[in-house]
Copies of this chain bind each other. A is one copy, B any other.
């Protein structure tokens, strides 16, 4: 059977419903924190976290790991929206800058894939309160590797 390559193969962005079903099945932390993908385009995706006590830390604000979970789901959705449903995609690097405290509201993350012609994919993510896109809570850059080509050769 022909290999499916992210660089030459049968791409196609994964649908948001299929993505969320996969997320429910494999990553219970996302459901626990009320995180869902909202929209997936080719090279771009949005995710949302519902405001709830599960995500908070001292001071009643969103914890860093909850924000990272939101970012991680958004990046993963954007990666699968770019390369198709490729289980080989693997996070290698995450960097997050926290700019200001998050308010007690739902938050939205938006990821744009910055490149896609290589063995690694870099995405840029911003997190903001719903309906307040200019009030950036944190920014992040994530890198995914697309591992061993040997796999493709079946």
Considering only residues 76-114 of chain A, those with a C-beta below 8 Å from chain B are: 87, 90-100, 114
- A33 interface neighbour in B29, B59, B64, B145, Cβ under 8 Å: B29
- Indicate whether A72 reaches chain B with its CB closer than 8 angstroms: yes
Q: Is B124 a contact partner of A147 (Cβ separation < 8 A)?
A: no
Count identical subunits in the complex: 4
Q: Is B27 a contact partner of A58 (Cβ separation < 8 A)?
A: yes
Task: Indicate whether A95 sits within 8 Å of B141 (C-beta atoms), given known contacts A72-B64, A114-B136.
Answer: yes
Q: Is A65 a contact partner of B58 (Cβ separation < 8 A)?
A: no
Q: Is the interface of A mostly helix, strand, loop or mixed?
A: mixed
Number of interface residues of A (CB under 8 A): 51
- Write the A17-42 contact mask toward B (1 if CB under 8 angstroms, else 0): 00000100011110011000000000
Q: Is B92 a contact partner of A114 (Cβ separation < 8 A)?
A: no
Task: Indicate whether A55 sits within 8 Å of B29 (C-beta atoms), given known contacts A93-B97, A114-B139.
Answer: yes
**A60 to B, closest residue via Cβ:** B26
> How many Å from the CB of A76 to the closest CB on chain B?
9
9 nearest A-B residue pairs (beta carbon) = A65-B69, A26-B58, A95-B95, A99-B115, A149-B149, A27-B57, A68-B68, A94-B96, A65-B68
